Amino acid sequence: MSITIASWVKPGIWGGIVGAALIAIIGFSTGSVVSGSTAEKMADTSGKESVIAAMAPVCVAQFQMLTPNNQTEQLAALKEEASYKRDDYVIAKGWATMPGSETASNDIAERCASLLMDLTAS
């Protein structure tokens, strides 16, 4: 028994294969389609950024608990620090140590220092 395939089926199959390949190429090259590991990395980055964005204002609030004169002095000292050392200054002052935590996050301290520098500009 032999199976006969209509003559129009072969171009249809090739069209499907070529179309699928083009969709895959275009999807991956534009970033519309990503692999599982890439999606996981993107989710981790997004989660980390969300935590930093949520906790940096807590750091600023801890700074704002200082007396107004002390705030002015601390902001002046922070401004004198090299930009790459400002997060270390914030950590040393304890502002980046979140309530209930024993250690400070460098990423939160960096964002906090940036927010504090914005206070000096205003």
DSSP for 6-31 reads -TTHHHHHHHHHHHHHHHHHHHHHHT
Question: Cα separations (Å) of 49 from 16, 55, 111?
Answer: 41, 10, 10
Segment-wise mean pLDDT, segments of 10 residues, the chain, 122 residues: 77 88 84 81 91 92 92 92 93 90 90 90 66
Residue with tokens 């590991």: 37
Q: How far apart are CA 49 and CA 6, in angstroms?
A: 57
According to the model, what pLDDT value does residue 1 have? Answer: 65
At 43, which amino acid appears?
A
According to the model, what pLDDT value does residue 122 have? Answer: 63
DSSP assignment letter at 102: S
